[in-house]
Homo-oligomer: A and B are copies of this chain.
C-alpha cells in the first residue's frame, strides 16, 4: 500500500526517450566513448532499465538508425520517384530541403554519427545499403535518367552524376564532423547550396557562345 501509480508508468515512451538520450551521448562521445551509465542518466532512468528495452549498446545505435531512416522511405522519396518534367526543380528542392535539415544541429548529428561510426558497428553497413543505397539512390538516378531522356539534361552517366549532385552535401557533413563546425554555419550551408546549384546546372566555364563545350 505504498504508493499508487497514478497512470501507466509511460512504458511506451521509453524506447524513444532512450534513443534520444543515446543519440545525444553518441554525438558527444562517439559510440565507443559513450557509457551506458551516461545514456541511462540522461534518459532519467537507471542502467538496468536501458537493458529492459535494448539488449546492448549496439542495439541502441541500430535503433537510432532505424528511427532516422524509416521516414525517408515514406516521405519525400515517392514524390521524387513519380516526378515528371524538368528534374532541376525537384533536385533543387531536394538539395534545399536537405540543407534545411542539416542546419539543425540535432539533425546534422545523425549523419555525422553514421559517418563517424561507419563500419565499426556490425550490421551498420547492411542497414545503410538496404535503406539508403537501394532505396534513395535509384530514385535520384531515375530522376537524372528521365532528365537526360527528356532532353532537360545533357547526356551524363546518371549514377556518377548523382554523386556530383549530392557530393558537396556529404562533404559538408564530413567536414563539419572533422572540424567540429557549429550551428552558426547554418547560413553558409544555404549559400553553399545556391552556389552549387548554380554551377551544377550552368557549369563552371564561362560563356560558351561558340556553341561547343
Give chain A's interface residues, CB within 8 Å of chain B: 30, 32-33, 88, 114-116, 118-120, 125, 128-129, 133, 151-154, 156-157, 160-161, 163-175, 177-180, 188, 191-192, 195-196, 198-209, 211, 213
Given contacts A30-B32, A180-B119, contact A172 B168 (CB under 8 A): no
Task: Find chain B residues with CB under 8 A from A156 CB.
Answer: 195, 198-199, 204
The answer to whether B125 and A161 have CB atoms under 8 Å apart is: no
The answer to whether A115 and B164 have CB atoms under 8 Å apart is: no
Task: Find chain B residues with CB under 8 A from A178 CB.
Answer: 114-115, 118-119, 125, 128
Q: In the complex, what distance in Å separates the CA atom of A203 from the CA atom of B198? A: 9
The answer to whether A164 and B196 have CB atoms under 8 Å apart is: yes
Task: Find chain B residues with CB under 8 A from A179 CB.
Answer: 125, 128-129, 133
Given contacts A32-B30, A180-B119, A196-B160, contact A205 B166 (CB under 8 A): no
The answer to whether A167 and B171 have CB atoms under 8 Å apart is: yes
Number of chain copies forming the complex: 4
The answer to whether A154 and B202 have CB atoms under 8 Å apart is: yes
Main SS of the interface on chain A? helix
Shortest C-beta distance, A100 to chain B (Å), equals 17
Task: Find chain B residues with CB under 8 A from A164 CB.
Answer: 167-168, 195-196, 199-200, 204
Q: In the complex, what distance in Å separates the CA atom of A152 from the CA atom of B192? A: 21
Q: In the complex, what distance in Å separates the CA atom of A76 from the CA atom of B30? A: 34
26 contacts between A and B (CB under 8 A): A115-B115, A115-B174, A116-B116, A116-B120, A119-B178, A125-B180, A128-B179, A152-B205, A153-B206, A154-B205, A154-B206, A160-B191, A160-B196, A161-B204, A164-B196, A166-B171, A167-B168, A167-B169, A169-B171, A170-B171, A173-B174, A199-B200, A201-B203, A202-B213, A203-B204, A209-B209
